[in-house]
């Protein structure tokens, strides 16, 4: 049985991470990708692939929010919006790459969506969409969507940025040209604290930084990871050619509380550089400074991270500094490095009750509105919510959701065998609490790919008011 292409959910803190081998860079003699600035029609359906018209997007009544632009809020109405990838994997003009569902008081509305497809200006017909992230790059009060796109000539890829507006995405876009064949992950943050977000793209073992994007294309610069300390040859310099180590990740958040974003990367040092055996894994943090991202890398977690890594950065203890969490070496455990005024502190192990298998740290968000981020973990065939609190993670309050959970708004059984394949935490209904989005792709039935939305509440994620929709509902 062939499994249908999985959805990918746009997440502020979700890091669906995969390793990839190095790819050659494009040279000057190769064809150029589309123009750097591509105007789109100024209409709610600007991203809709013809001939499938979209239902016009009407902004919901504004919710109360304090920041000029919330991440993932593309129309500025105060409700987070949901981005899904690969819902329609067919062929022809109706094929879509990315679907954007707009949030409202009842959560995301399948009938109120936009599509990015082959006929979207700047998108090649054979494009493949990779990871995405959002930030208000042009600081106009509307979040913008950045998407990694491949399918251009000669192993060239771009990061397409579609700008938000009062009617959602559309009207303007910018294309950032990058060498190589796509990216594994994107992340955005303001590393110099001047108010204009920067963008980090990691792929093919390399990390590339795009500073102060705003409304114009900028040229990226490489960020090299330090990798493993070689005891016989001495420590490697902080910035070394990527042949010594490969960058994976990233996670972007303020770990020291100085109101500048910091960058956390996973570094993979190939064993061939130093000794026989498997690759060596470590974590590295670079702090944001007034001059931008620091060139000094602080290496940590060298004995705690494994090949089956994943990470997220969020303020778990509510002290105003982001904490970094990774899976532990022992089954059913996570390691949290708490943020301090000097950076990240030593790791603290947390054991999940009644769980001994491998897990994946998928997302983070405040599901109960207490000011501390909670974690969504992929454990087995379900999702476990591990709450945060003033003293860190609280394993005694975990709650698990899987395809057999009573009250789930869909019939259980084999139709949900891939339940939990993708996960997102974000406030989609404007109540100040993160909602849980769970993906359940289907085998050989892409129209039946299903998404579940479980709202947050004062007591955390709840099945009361939960909803679900299929790919076929996006008409």
Residues 342-400: tens digit of each pLDDT? 999 999 999 999 888 889 999 999 999 999 999 999 998 899 999 999 999 999 999 99
Residue at 203 is within a domain: yes
**Strand locations in 343-458, DSSP E?**
343-351, 359-365, 374-379, 382-386, 388-389, 392-393, 399-402, 422-426, 435-440, 450-454
Instruction: Report the chain's mean pLDDT, rounded to a whole number.
Output: 79
Query: Model's pTM, two decimal places?
Result: 0.82
Query: Contact, 384 vs 399, CB < 8 A?
Result: yes
Does residue 142 share a domain with residue 248?
Answer: no
Domain end marker among 263, 288, 307 = 307
Quick one: how far is CA 88 from the chain centroid? 20
pLDDT at 130: 85
Residue at 6 is within a domain: no
In CATH, what number is assigned to the domain containing residue 361?
A: 2.130.10.130
The rounded distance, in Å, linking the Cα atoms of 314 and 320 is 9
Structural domains in the chain (count): 3
Does residue 21 share a domain with residue 155?
Answer: yes
pLDDT at 4: 40
Stretches where the chain sits below pLDDT 70 are: 1-68, 86-96, 152-156, 228-243, 272-277, 307-308, 411-415, 444, 446-447, 475
Domain end marker among 202, 221, 240 = 221
Residue at 302 is within a domain: yes
Does residue 188 share a domain with residue 251?
Answer: no
Residue 27 CB contacts under 8 Å (≥ 6 apart), including other chains: none
Does residue 390 share a domain with residue 301?
Answer: no
Q: What is the SS3 assignment for 271?
A: helix
Does residue 474 share a domain with residue 327?
Answer: yes
Does residue 460 share a domain with residue 335?
Answer: yes
Q: What is the SS3 assignment for 428?
A: coil
Residue at 12 is within a domain: no
Query: Contact, 146 vs 136, CB < 8 A?
Result: no
CA proximity to 337, closest of 300, 310, 282? 300
Q: Which domain holds residue 274?
A: 224-307
The rounded distance, in Å, linking the Cα atoms of 329 and 136 is 37
Does residue 256 share a domain with residue 207?
Answer: no
Calculated CA dihedral for residues 320, 459, 309, 341, nearest 10 degrees: 10
Pairing type for strands 312-314 and 323-327 reads antiparallel
Residue at 2 is within a domain: no
Residue 43 CB contacts under 8 Å (≥ 6 apart), including other chains: 167, 170
CA proximity to 255, closest of 279, 234, 286? 286
The rounded distance, in Å, linking the Cα atoms of 241 and 248 is 15
Burial level of 272, CB count in 10 A (0-12/13-18/19+)?
Answer: exposed
Calculated CA dihedral for residues 299, 305, 311, 313, nearest 10 degrees: -40
Residue at 9 is within a domain: no
Does residue 122 share a domain with residue 265?
Answer: no
Report DSSP state, residue 371.
S
Residue at 3 is within a domain: no
Does residue 120 share a domain with residue 100?
Answer: yes
Does residue 314 share a domain with residue 233?
Answer: no
Does residue 229 share a domain with residue 184?
Answer: no
CA proximity to 333, closest of 364, 362, 356? 356
Burial level of 29, CB count in 10 A (0-12/13-18/19+)?
Answer: exposed
Q: What Å distances lie between residue 167 and 76, 215, 325, CA to CA?
A: 9, 18, 36
Does residue 44 share a domain with residue 154?
Answer: yes
Q: What is the phi/psi pair of residue 438, to 5°?
A: -125, 130
Q: Which helix (H) or strand (E) holds 83?
A: strand 82-85
Calculated CA dihedral for residues 6, 312, 73, 187, nearest 10 degrees: -80
pLDDT at 89: 52
Residue 246 CB contacts under 8 Å (≥ 6 apart), including other chains: 19, 22, 205, 206, 225, 267, 268, 269, 270
CA proximity to 226, closest of 276, 301, 290? 301
Residue at 10 is within a domain: no
pLDDT at 121: 76
pLDDT digits (tens, 9 = 90+) for 141-189: 999 999 998 876 656 688 999 999 999 998 789 999 887 777 889 999 9
Burial level of 309, CB count in 10 A (0-12/13-18/19+)?
Answer: buried
Residue 435 CB contacts under 8 Å (≥ 6 apart), including other chains: 107, 367, 425, 426, 427, 428, 429, 453, 454, 455, 456, 461
Q: Is 369 left (phi over 0), alpha (psi -120 to 50) or beta?
A: left
Compute and round to an integer the Cα radius of gyration of the chain. Answer: 21
Pairing type for strands 450-454 and 467-470 reads antiparallel
Q: What is the SS3 assignment for 359?
A: strand
CA proximity to 323, closest of 386, 378, 257, 396? 257
Query: Contact, 306 vs 283, CB < 8 A?
Result: no
Domain end marker among 221, 252, 269 = 221
């Amino acid at each position: 049985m062939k499994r249908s292409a999985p959805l990918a959910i746009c997440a502020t803190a979700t890091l669906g991470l995969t390793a990839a081998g190095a790819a050659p860079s494009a040279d000057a003699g190769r064809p150029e990708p589309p123009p750097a600035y591509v105007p789109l029609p100024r209409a709610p359906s600007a991203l809709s692939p013809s001939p499938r018209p979209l239902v016009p997007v009407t902004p919901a009544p504004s919710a109360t929010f304090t920041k000029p632009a919330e991440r993932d809020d593309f129309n500025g109405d105060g409700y987070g919006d949901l981005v899904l990838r690969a819902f329609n994997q067919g062929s022809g003009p109706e094929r879509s790459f990315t679907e954007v569902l707009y949030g409202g008081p009842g959560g995301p509305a399948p009938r109120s969506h936009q599509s990015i497809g082959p006929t979207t200006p700047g998108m090649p017909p054979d494009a493949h969409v990779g990871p995405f992230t959002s930030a208000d790059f042009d600081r106009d009060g509307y979040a913008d969507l950045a998407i990694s796109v491949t399918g251009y000539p000669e192993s060239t890829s771009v990061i397409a940025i579609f700008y938000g507006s009062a009617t959602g995405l559309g009207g303007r876009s910018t294309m950032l040209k990058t060498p190589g064949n796509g990216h594994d992950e994107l992340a955005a943050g303001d590393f110099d604290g001047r108010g204009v977000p920067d963008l980090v793209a990691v792929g093919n073992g390399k990390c590339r930084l795009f500073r102060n994007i705003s409304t114009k294309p900028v040229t990226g610069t490489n960020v090299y990871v330090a990798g493993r300390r070689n005891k016989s040859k001495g420590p490697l310099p902080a910035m070394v050619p990527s042949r010594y180590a490969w960058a994976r990740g990233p996670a972007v958040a303020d770990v020291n509380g100085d109101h500048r974003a910091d960058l956390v990367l996973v570094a993979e040092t190939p064993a061939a550089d130093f000794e026989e055996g498997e690759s060596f894994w470590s974590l590295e943090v670079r702090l944001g400074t007034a001059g931008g991202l620091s060139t000094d890398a602080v290496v940590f977690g060298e004995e705690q991270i494994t090949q089956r890594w994943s990470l997220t950065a969020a303020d778990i203890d509510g002290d105003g500094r982001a904490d970094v969490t990774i899976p532990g070496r022992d089954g059913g455990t996570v390691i949290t490095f708490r943020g301090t005024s000097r950076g990240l502190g030593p790791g603290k192990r947390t054991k999940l009750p009644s769980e001994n298998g491998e897990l994946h740290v998928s997302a983070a968000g405040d599901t109960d509105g207490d000011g501390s981020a909670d974690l969504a973990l992929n454990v087995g065939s379900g999702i476990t919510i591990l709450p945060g609190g003033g003293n860190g993670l609280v394993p005694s309050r975990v709650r698990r959701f899987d395809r057999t959970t009573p009250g789930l708004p869909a019939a259980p059984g084999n139709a949900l065998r891939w339940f939990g394949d993708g996960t997102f935490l974000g406030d989609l209904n404007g109540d100040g609490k993160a909602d849980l989005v769970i993906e359940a792709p289907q085998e050989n039935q892409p129209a039946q790919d299903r998404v579940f939305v479980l709202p947050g509440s004062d007591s955390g994620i709840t099945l009361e008011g939960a909803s679900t929709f299929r790919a076929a509902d996006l008409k």
